[in-house]
Structure 1
Protein backbone atom coordinates (compact mmCIF):
# COMPACT_ATOMS: atom_id res chain seq x y z
CA UNK A 1 0.00 0.00 0.00
CA UNK A 2 1.40 3.41 -0.91
CA UNK A 3 -0.29 5.64 1.65
CA UNK A 4 2.06 8.33 2.94
CA UNK A 5 0.01 8.88 6.09
CA UNK A 6 -0.17 5.17 6.95
CA UNK A 7 3.54 4.70 6.27
CA UNK A 8 4.41 7.70 8.45
CA UNK A 9 2.34 6.55 11.40
CA UNK A 10 2.74 2.78 11.11
CA UNK A 11 5.89 2.67 13.25
CA UNK A 12 4.23 4.78 15.95
CA UNK A 13 1.11 2.57 15.89
CA UNK A 14 3.30 -0.53 15.95
CA UNK A 15 5.26 0.62 19.01
CA UNK A 16 2.13 1.78 20.81
CA UNK A 17 0.28 -1.48 20.15
CA UNK A 18 3.23 -3.60 21.26
CA UNK A 19 3.53 -1.57 24.49
CA UNK A 20 -0.20 -1.96 25.19
CA UNK A 21 -0.05 -5.67 24.39
CA UNK A 22 2.79 -6.18 26.89
CA UNK A 23 0.87 -4.24 29.54
CA UNK A 24 -2.25 -6.36 28.96
CA UNK A 25 -0.10 -9.50 29.03
CA UNK A 26 1.45 -8.65 32.40
CA UNK A 27 -1.72 -7.61 34.18
CA UNK A 28 -3.60 -10.68 32.94
CA UNK A 29 -3.15 -12.88 35.98
CA UNK A 30 -4.62 -10.25 38.34
CA UNK A 31 -7.12 -8.42 36.11
CA UNK A 32 -8.79 -8.97 32.73
CA UNK A 33 -6.30 -9.54 29.95
CA UNK A 34 -3.51 -12.03 29.61
CA UNK A 35 -1.67 -13.83 26.90
CA UNK A 36 -4.51 -14.28 24.45
CA UNK A 37 -5.76 -10.69 24.41
CA UNK A 38 -2.22 -9.29 24.56
CA UNK A 39 -1.21 -11.55 21.68
CA UNK A 40 -4.10 -10.32 19.56
CA UNK A 41 -3.13 -6.69 20.20
CA UNK A 42 0.53 -7.41 19.41
CA UNK A 43 -0.36 -9.30 16.23
CA UNK A 44 -2.56 -6.37 15.19
CA UNK A 45 0.41 -4.04 15.59
CA UNK A 46 2.54 -6.24 13.38
CA UNK A 47 -0.30 -6.53 10.86
CA UNK A 48 -0.50 -2.73 10.63
CA UNK A 49 3.24 -2.67 9.97
CA UNK A 50 2.85 -5.32 7.26
CA UNK A 51 -0.01 -3.44 5.66
CA UNK A 52 1.88 -0.14 5.59
CA UNK A 53 5.42 -1.25 4.82
CA UNK A 54 5.09 -4.75 3.44
CA UNK A 55 5.43 -8.30 4.67
CA UNK A 56 9.23 -8.10 4.80
CA UNK A 57 9.12 -5.23 7.32
CA UNK A 58 6.80 -7.23 9.58
CA UNK A 59 9.01 -10.32 9.31
CA UNK A 60 12.06 -8.23 10.22
CA UNK A 61 10.23 -6.80 13.25
CA UNK A 62 9.21 -10.30 14.39
CA UNK A 63 12.75 -11.65 13.76
CA UNK A 64 11.61 -15.29 13.79
CA UNK A 65 9.28 -17.15 11.48
CA UNK A 66 5.72 -17.06 12.91
CA UNK A 67 5.57 -20.87 13.11
CA UNK A 68 8.79 -20.88 15.16
CA UNK A 69 7.26 -18.29 17.50
CA UNK A 70 4.20 -20.54 17.90
CA UNK A 71 6.40 -23.54 18.68
CA UNK A 72 8.48 -21.68 21.25
CA UNK A 73 5.32 -20.37 22.89
CA UNK A 74 3.82 -23.84 23.11
CA UNK A 75 6.99 -25.24 24.67
CA UNK A 76 7.10 -22.36 27.18
CA UNK A 77 3.43 -22.87 28.12
CA UNK A 78 4.01 -26.59 28.65
CA UNK A 79 7.19 -26.04 30.66
CA UNK A 80 5.37 -23.63 32.98
CA UNK A 81 3.35 -26.55 34.32
CA UNK A 82 6.28 -28.80 35.14
CA UNK A 83 7.31 -27.19 38.48
CA UNK A 84 3.85 -27.87 39.92
CA UNK A 85 3.94 -31.43 38.64
CA UNK A 86 7.30 -32.04 40.30
CA UNK A 87 6.53 -30.41 43.66
CA UNK A 88 2.77 -30.89 44.14
CA UNK A 89 2.04 -33.76 41.77
CA UNK A 90 -0.37 -31.60 39.78
CA UNK A 91 0.39 -30.18 36.35
CA UNK A 92 -0.04 -26.37 36.15
CA UNK A 93 -0.12 -25.81 39.92
CA UNK A 94 1.62 -22.48 39.75
CA UNK A 95 4.41 -21.06 41.85
CA UNK A 96 4.27 -17.39 42.90
CA UNK A 97 6.87 -14.85 43.93
CA UNK A 98 5.61 -11.56 45.40
CA UNK A 99 8.04 -8.65 45.42
CA UNK A 100 5.95 -5.75 46.73
CA UNK A 101 3.38 -4.99 44.05
CA UNK A 102 5.27 -7.11 41.48
CA UNK A 103 3.80 -10.61 41.11
CA UNK A 104 5.86 -13.15 39.21
CA UNK A 105 5.19 -16.80 38.77
CA UNK A 106 4.77 -19.71 36.47
CA UNK A 107 1.32 -18.37 35.49
CA UNK A 108 3.10 -15.44 33.84
CA UNK A 109 5.31 -17.90 31.93
CA UNK A 110 2.15 -19.69 30.78
CA UNK A 111 0.65 -16.37 29.65
CA UNK A 112 3.85 -15.49 27.76
CA UNK A 113 3.63 -18.86 26.00
CA UNK A 114 0.00 -18.21 25.03
CA UNK A 115 1.00 -14.70 23.89
CA UNK A 116 3.65 -16.16 21.58
CA UNK A 117 1.31 -18.84 20.21
CA UNK A 118 -1.36 -16.26 19.40
CA UNK A 119 1.09 -13.82 17.77
CA UNK A 120 2.67 -16.61 15.72
CA UNK A 121 -0.67 -18.09 14.64
CA UNK A 122 -2.33 -14.83 13.70
CA UNK A 123 0.74 -13.56 11.87
CA UNK A 124 1.23 -16.80 9.96
CA UNK A 125 -2.29 -16.34 8.61
CA UNK A 126 -2.14 -12.57 8.06
CA UNK A 127 1.28 -12.55 6.41
CA UNK A 128 0.25 -15.41 4.13
CA UNK A 129 -2.82 -13.43 3.03
CA UNK A 130 -0.72 -10.31 2.42
CA UNK A 131 1.80 -12.32 0.37
CA UNK A 132 -0.96 -13.84 -1.77
CA UNK A 133 -2.56 -10.42 -2.28
CA UNK A 134 0.75 -8.89 -3.37
CA UNK A 135 1.38 -11.75 -5.80
CA UNK A 136 -1.83 -11.26 -7.76
Structure 2
Protein backbone atom coordinates (compact mmCIF):
# COMPACT_ATOMS: atom_id res chain seq x y z
CA UNK A 1 0.00 0.00 0.00
CA UNK A 2 2.86 2.34 0.84
CA UNK A 3 4.44 1.87 -2.59
CA UNK A 4 1.10 2.45 -4.29
CA UNK A 5 0.45 5.60 -2.30
CA UNK A 6 3.94 6.98 -2.91
CA UNK A 7 3.85 6.18 -6.62
CA UNK A 8 0.45 7.83 -7.01
CA UNK A 9 1.62 10.95 -5.15
CA UNK A 10 4.80 11.16 -7.24
CA UNK A 11 2.87 10.60 -10.47
CA UNK A 12 0.42 13.34 -9.44
CA UNK A 13 3.31 15.79 -9.15
CA UNK A 14 4.65 14.79 -12.55
CA UNK A 15 1.20 15.10 -14.12
CA UNK A 16 0.79 18.60 -12.69
CA UNK A 17 3.66 19.62 -14.96
CA UNK A 18 1.46 18.55 -17.89
CA UNK A 19 -1.61 20.26 -16.40
CA UNK A 20 -3.29 16.88 -15.84
CA UNK A 21 -4.90 15.24 -12.84
CA UNK A 22 -4.49 11.56 -11.94
CA UNK A 23 -6.70 9.42 -14.13
CA UNK A 24 -6.72 11.86 -17.02
CA UNK A 25 -3.43 10.36 -18.17
CA UNK A 26 -5.01 6.91 -18.17
CA UNK A 27 -7.93 8.13 -20.25
CA UNK A 28 -5.69 9.84 -22.82
CA UNK A 29 -3.60 6.67 -23.11
CA UNK A 30 -6.67 4.58 -23.91
CA UNK A 31 -7.89 6.75 -26.79
CA UNK A 32 -5.97 5.72 -29.88
CA UNK A 33 -5.21 8.60 -32.26
CA UNK A 34 -7.76 8.69 -35.09
CA UNK A 35 -9.88 5.91 -33.55
CA UNK A 36 -13.15 6.95 -31.89
CA UNK A 37 -13.99 5.07 -28.68
CA UNK A 38 -17.25 5.02 -26.75
CA UNK A 39 -17.62 6.43 -23.25
CA UNK A 40 -18.79 3.04 -22.00
CA UNK A 41 -15.73 1.30 -23.48
CA UNK A 42 -13.46 3.84 -21.78
CA UNK A 43 -15.28 3.30 -18.47
CA UNK A 44 -14.77 -0.44 -18.80
CA UNK A 45 -11.08 -0.08 -19.65
CA UNK A 46 -10.52 2.29 -16.71
CA UNK A 47 -12.70 0.24 -14.32
CA UNK A 48 -14.82 3.28 -13.46
CA UNK A 49 -18.42 4.31 -14.03
CA UNK A 50 -19.40 6.04 -17.28
CA UNK A 51 -20.38 9.13 -15.25
CA UNK A 52 -16.79 9.34 -13.98
CA UNK A 53 -15.50 9.21 -17.55
CA UNK A 54 -17.97 11.93 -18.56
CA UNK A 55 -16.65 14.24 -15.84
CA UNK A 56 -13.08 13.54 -16.92
CA UNK A 57 -14.01 14.23 -20.53
CA UNK A 58 -15.60 17.55 -19.59
CA UNK A 59 -12.31 18.67 -18.07
CA UNK A 60 -10.24 17.38 -20.98
CA UNK A 61 -12.59 19.08 -23.46
CA UNK A 62 -12.06 22.40 -21.65
CA UNK A 63 -8.36 21.96 -22.40
CA UNK A 64 -9.12 21.05 -26.05
CA UNK A 65 -7.56 17.59 -25.64
CA UNK A 66 -10.57 15.47 -26.63
CA UNK A 67 -13.81 15.91 -28.50
CA UNK A 68 -17.12 14.10 -28.30
CA UNK A 69 -19.10 13.05 -31.34
CA UNK A 70 -22.22 10.98 -31.94
CA UNK A 71 -21.74 7.39 -33.07
CA UNK A 72 -22.11 7.13 -36.85
CA UNK A 73 -24.86 4.45 -36.63
CA UNK A 74 -26.32 5.03 -33.15
CA UNK A 75 -26.82 8.68 -32.16
CA UNK A 76 -27.48 7.62 -28.54
CA UNK A 77 -23.85 6.56 -28.14
CA UNK A 78 -21.19 9.17 -27.48
CA UNK A 79 -17.79 8.66 -29.06
CA UNK A 80 -14.52 10.25 -28.00
CA UNK A 81 -11.55 11.24 -30.12
CA UNK A 82 -8.27 12.97 -29.40
CA UNK A 83 -7.69 16.43 -30.78
CA UNK A 84 -4.26 17.26 -32.23
CA UNK A 85 -3.33 18.76 -28.83
CA UNK A 86 -4.55 15.56 -27.15
CA UNK A 87 -2.40 13.41 -29.43
CA UNK A 88 0.65 15.51 -28.60
CA UNK A 89 -0.03 15.35 -24.86
CA UNK A 90 -0.68 11.59 -25.07
CA UNK A 91 2.90 11.21 -26.32
CA UNK A 92 4.23 13.29 -23.46
CA UNK A 93 2.26 11.15 -20.99
CA UNK A 94 3.79 7.99 -22.48
CA UNK A 95 7.27 9.48 -22.10
CA UNK A 96 6.54 10.45 -18.50
CA UNK A 97 5.32 6.92 -17.71
CA UNK A 98 8.39 5.36 -19.34
CA UNK A 99 10.70 7.55 -17.28
CA UNK A 100 8.85 6.80 -14.05
CA UNK A 101 8.87 3.08 -14.81
CA UNK A 102 12.60 3.17 -15.58
CA UNK A 103 13.28 5.04 -12.32
CA UNK A 104 11.29 2.48 -10.33
CA UNK A 105 12.85 -0.48 -12.14
CA UNK A 106 16.34 0.81 -11.42
CA UNK A 107 15.67 0.22 -7.71
CA UNK A 108 15.46 -3.55 -8.35
CA UNK A 109 18.43 -5.70 -9.30
CA UNK A 110 18.13 -6.83 -12.94
CA UNK A 111 18.15 -10.53 -12.02
CA UNK A 112 15.11 -9.99 -9.73
CA UNK A 113 13.19 -7.62 -12.00
CA UNK A 114 11.38 -10.16 -14.22
CA UNK A 115 10.09 -12.15 -11.24
CA UNK A 116 8.88 -8.97 -9.55
CA UNK A 117 7.15 -7.75 -12.72
CA UNK A 118 5.34 -11.08 -13.08
CA UNK A 119 4.11 -10.90 -9.50
CA UNK A 120 2.97 -7.31 -9.93
CA UNK A 121 1.08 -8.21 -13.14
CA UNK A 122 -0.73 -11.00 -11.27
CA UNK A 123 -1.67 -8.61 -8.45
CA UNK A 124 -2.87 -6.05 -11.02
CA UNK A 125 -5.07 -8.62 -12.78
CA UNK A 126 -6.57 -9.74 -9.46
CA UNK A 127 -7.38 -6.19 -8.39
CA UNK A 128 -8.78 -5.26 -11.80
CA UNK A 129 -11.10 -8.28 -11.76
CA UNK A 130 -12.31 -7.44 -8.24
CA UNK A 131 -12.94 -3.82 -9.22
CA UNK A 132 -15.00 -4.83 -12.24
CA UNK A 133 -17.22 -7.01 -10.07
CA UNK A 134 -17.78 -4.18 -7.59
CA UNK A 135 -18.66 -1.49 -10.14
Q: TM-score, normalised by structure 1?
A: 0.28
Considering Cα pairs closer than 8 Å and 6+ residues apart, tell me whether 1 or 2 has the greater RCO.
Answer: 1
TM, length-normalised to structure 2:
0.28
